[in-house]
């Protein structure tokens, strides 16, 4: 996730920040207006020395109290106008910059939903969270303050030096002397600070990942008494981040000290030279007061440049991190054809005749796998007839879950193709594909929402009748006993429910839309035998009206299927009915028998014993 030092060093901060323009363009009028107002307000501070010059050389020298009071009133009015203008600038930028931040956050979240599953497998969630929160907050602050005041301060400094040179060119040259060393120092600071800023922001992402894992995995941590080791791991990351932040602070303190010291030395030299000129009569006292007042008015614009450059570097890094995610290619769609639901129609039902679900020479290798590594799935050929239920059986690691993930295109096949009623799924828009295919995974995921909202995610626009039917199929009668029934909030990850309850709600979500194709990855593994029997009875009615692929580990689940496919080492090695495979496949009989796992399948004794055990268990 992090860039290399060389890449970070070579990149242009300006080029990175310019990528924000599409988001800033809609509010550019208010931002430019705010910048103009700030420039006017800042330049008003340069009028103060001119009023002082008039007062010293005029009313003060002539002993005119009325003139002094008039000058004081002018200074007071200038101060009030300056304060009002700066407040107006703040009002101008507050609302539009909040909308910019909200738009960027919404785009990032939308983009994350459209990225392939392989991306989410690689990226830690904490890195994504830090980009959506901390980084976007930095960018809003940059647009509100540093961006404006880099322009304002630059304009003020240029206008101030013009005034200084017009008042006395020799003293102006003295104050201009530090410009070259300051530019060199700021350039060196920028190159070093950008590296440390990127490192710190990446470490914040790592720390966020650890916090998230610690919260979501609190039951495991407490169950195994690992709170101390987790705390030590967190402390190590926090100390690393602290060291990086201290490095940033040292760099910022160093540049701030130099940016403050060098101009102060120049002002001191100008003061000595100006005093000598006043003593010689070559310069009026009012001019010297005005010159020094102008120089002092330029102190903050000059001294704040180090701080503004630091914030700009952090913002450039935040922009890079934001667009690192946004630049990742989304899942490609074959066409922009609207789905049935978008067109106001019902999804097409199961045709009277079709080709069902077919795998043709399907091979799959994960995108980040080594080129010479073996494929997870190798030349899979499998045909599930229309209206048929096929059980997929295999040992752990044989590729069952990966095969089921290919049907809704959570991963793309490396070679070969998968068809639904003769149509290649690679040519079906994902929204339409996921209307046709419904899934339930072995590890059920619920969201911080009500039971009804979690279940109805399986079918947009489904009504209460569909919800009730789906809960009945999943034997989720426990919902009625919840405090608010189906409107009860289940909490984050659904951890307020038992594993079996979560699995039943996930199954209800899969069947609520009466899907044309159904993919179930061991959907009953967390159920007790009595509930499992009830769910299987209701599920049989659903499976009559759909084409289904069901990953099974137990004989009772296999009995839901019309036929069984045995997968071994990423290849389909046998297809047939349950009884046929029991008698004809040693591996299948061994898997179904529940025999001791230290005995390898392969003997006639194993096959016959396994077949007898399974037949007895499913009678």
Whether 430 contacts 333, CB under 8 Å:
yes
Claim to verify: residue 412 and residue 315 sit in the same structural domain: no
Claim to verify: residue 545 and residue 583 sit in the same structural domain: no
Claim to verify: residue 111 and residue 82 sit in the same structural domain: yes
pLDDT along the chain (619 residues), means of 10: 42 82 89 85 79 74 76 83 83 83 91 86 86 89 84 84 81 81 80 84 86 76 77 88 88 82 83 83 79 80 79 88 90 52 42 75 85 85 91 88 89 90 88 86 80 85 85 85 86 73 85 87 73 77 85 84 90 90 88 56 45 46
DSSP state of 60: I
Q: Does 341 fall in a domain?
A: no
Report the candidate in 418, 439, 417 with the shortest Cα–Cα distance to residue 357: 418
Q: Does 425 fall in a domain?
A: yes
Report the candidate in 537, 494, 538, 543 with the shortest Cα–Cα distance to residue 516: 543
CA dist 301 and 156 (Å) reads 7
For residue 281, what pLDDT is reported?
79
Domain that holds residue 484: 357-366+375-576
Claim to verify: residue 605 and residue 554 sit in the same structural domain: no
For residue 325, what pLDDT is reported?
92
CA dist 494 and 116 (Å) reads 24
Report the candidate in 293, 284, 271 with the shortest Cα–Cα distance to residue 60: 284
CA dist 37 and 35 (Å) reads 5
Claim to verify: residue 31 and residue 121 sit in the same structural domain: yes
Claim to verify: residue 539 and residue 593 sit in the same structural domain: no
Report the candidate in 367, 358, 495 with the shortest Cα–Cα distance to residue 423: 358
Q: Does 96 fall in a domain?
A: yes
Please state, as a whole number, how many other Cβ atoms lie within 10 Å of the Cβ of residue 315. 24
CATH number of the CATH domain containing 315: 1.20.1560.10
Burial profile 103-127: b = 16 or more Cβ within 10 angstroms, e = fewer: ebbeebeeebeebbeebeeebbebb
CATH number of the CATH domain containing 530: 3.40.50.300
For residue 526, what pLDDT is reported?
63
Q: Does 339 fall in a domain?
A: no
Spatial neighbors of 615 by CB under 8 A, at least 6 apart, are 582
DSSP state of 422: T
Q: Does 380 fall in a domain?
A: yes
Claim to verify: residue 221 and residue 111 sit in the same structural domain: yes
Q: Does 179 fall in a domain?
A: yes
For residue 2, what pLDDT is reported?
42
CA dist 483 and 11 (Å) reads 56
Whether 350 contacts 516, CB under 8 Å:
yes
Please give the order of strands across the beta sheet that includes 547-551: 437-440, 517-521, 547-551, 389-393, 563-568, 571-576
Q: Does 238 fall in a domain?
A: yes
Whether 400 contacts 394, CB under 8 Å:
yes
Please give the order of strands across the beta sheet that includes 357-364: 377-384, 357-364, 415-420, 423-424
Whether 408 contacts 433, CB under 8 Å:
yes
CA dist 542 and 219 (Å) reads 36
CA dist 117 and 295 (Å) reads 59
Burial of 259 (C-beta count, 10 Å sphere; 0-12/13-18/19+): buried
Claim to verify: residue 58 and residue 198 sit in the same structural domain: yes
Claim to verify: residue 554 and residue 595 sit in the same structural domain: no
- Residues found in the chain: 619
Claim to verify: residue 591 and residue 517 sit in the same structural domain: no
Claim to verify: residue 587 and residue 506 sit in the same structural domain: no
Instruction: Using alpha carbons only, give the angle 83, 85, 90 rounded to the nearest 5 degrees.
Output: 95
Burial profile 223-251: b = 16 or more Cβ within 10 angstroms, e = fewer: eeeeeeebeeeeeebeeebeebeebbeeb
Residue whose pair of structure tokens reads 């795998």 in the numeric block: 359
DSSP helix/strand/coil, 383 = strand
Whether 521 contacts 441, CB under 8 Å:
yes
Residue 548 Rama label (left phi>0; alpha psi -120 to 50; beta): beta
Number of domains in the chain: 3
Claim to verify: residue 34 and residue 146 sit in the same structural domain: yes
Report the candidate in 586, 537, 584, 587 with the shortest Cα–Cα distance to residue 557: 537
Beta strands 563-568 and 547-551 are unpaired
Residue whose pair of structure tokens reads 């980084």 in the numeric block: 135
CA dist 284 and 278 (Å) reads 6
Q: Does 344 fall in a domain?
A: no
Whether 605 contacts 611, CB under 8 Å:
no
């Amino acid at each position: 996730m992090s860039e290399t030092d060389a890449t970070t060093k070579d990149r242009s901060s300006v080029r990175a920040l310019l990528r924000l323009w599409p988001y800033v363009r809609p509010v550019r009028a208010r931002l430019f207006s705010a910048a103009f107002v700030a420039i006017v307000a800042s330049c008003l501070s340069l009028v103060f020395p001119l009023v002082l010059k008039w007062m010293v050389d005029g009313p003060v020298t002539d002993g005119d109290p009325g003139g002094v009071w008039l000058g004081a009133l002018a200074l007071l009015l200038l101060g009030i106008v300056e304060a009002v203008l700066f407040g107006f600038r703040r009002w101008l930028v507050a609302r539009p910059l909040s909308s910019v931040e909200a738009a960027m956050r919404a785009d990032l979240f939308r983009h994350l939903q459209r990225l392939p599953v392989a991306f989410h497998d690689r990226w830690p969630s904490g890195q994504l969270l830090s980009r959506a929160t901390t980084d976007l907050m930095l960018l809003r602050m940059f647009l509100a303050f540093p961006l404006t005041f880099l322009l304002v301060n630059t304009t003020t400094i240029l206008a101030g030096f013009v005034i200084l040179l017009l008042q006395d060119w020799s003293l102006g040259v003295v104050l201009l002397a530090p410009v070259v060393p300051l530019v060199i120092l700021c350039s060196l600071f920028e190159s070093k600070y950008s590296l440390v800023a990127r490192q710190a922001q990446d470490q914040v992402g790592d720390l966020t990942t650890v916090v998230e894992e610690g919260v979501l995995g609190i039951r495991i941590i407490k169950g195994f008494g690992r709170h101390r080791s987790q705390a030590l791991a967190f402390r190590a990351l926090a100390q690393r981040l602290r060291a990086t932040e201290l490095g940033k602070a040292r760099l910022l303190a160093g540049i701030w000290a130099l940016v403050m010291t060098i101009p102060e030395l120049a002002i001191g030299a100008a003061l000595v030279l100006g005093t000598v000129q006043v003593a010689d009569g070559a310069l009026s006292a009012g001019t010297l007061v005005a010159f020094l007042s102008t120089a002092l008015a330029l102190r903050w614009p000059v001294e704040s440049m180090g701080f503004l450059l630091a914030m700009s570097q952090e913002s450039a890094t935040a922009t890079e991190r934001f667009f690192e995610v946004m630049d990742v290619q989304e899942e490609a769609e074959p066409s922009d054809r609207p789905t049935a639901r978008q067109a106001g129609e019902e999804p097409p039902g199961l045709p009277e005749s079709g080709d069902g679900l077919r795998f043709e020479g399907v091979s799959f290798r994960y995108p980040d796998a080594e080129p010479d590594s073996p494929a997870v799935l190798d030349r899979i050929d499998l045909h599930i007839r229309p209206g048929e239920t096929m059980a997929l059986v295999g040992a752990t690691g044989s590729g069952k879950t990966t095969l089921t993930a290919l049907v809704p295109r959570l991963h793309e096949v490396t070679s070969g193709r998968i068809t639904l009623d003769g149509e290649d799924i690679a040519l079906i828009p994902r929204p339409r594909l996921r209307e046709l295919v419904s899934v339930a995974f072995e590890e059920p995921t619920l969201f911080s929402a009500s039971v009804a909202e979690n279940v109805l995610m399986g079918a947009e626009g489904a009504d209460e009748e569909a919800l009730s039917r789906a809960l009945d199929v999943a034997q989720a009668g426990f919902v009625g006993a919840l405090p608010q029934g189906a409107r009860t909030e289940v909490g984050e990850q659904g951890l307020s429910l038992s594993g079996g309850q979560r699995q039943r709600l996930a199954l209800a979500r899969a069947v609520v839309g009466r899907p044309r194709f159904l993919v179930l990855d061991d959907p009953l593994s967390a159920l007790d035998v009595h509930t499992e029997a009830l769910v299987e009875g209701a599920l049989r009615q659903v499976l009559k009206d759909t084409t289904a692929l069901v990953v099974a580990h137990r004989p009772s689940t296999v009995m839901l299927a019309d036929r069984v496919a045995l997968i071994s080492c990423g290849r389909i090695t046998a297809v047939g009915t349950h009884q046929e495979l029991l008698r004809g496949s040693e591996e299948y009989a061994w898997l179904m028998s529940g025999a001791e796992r230290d005995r390898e399948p392969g003997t006639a004794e194993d096959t016959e014993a396994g077949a007898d055990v399974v037949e007895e268990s499913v009678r």
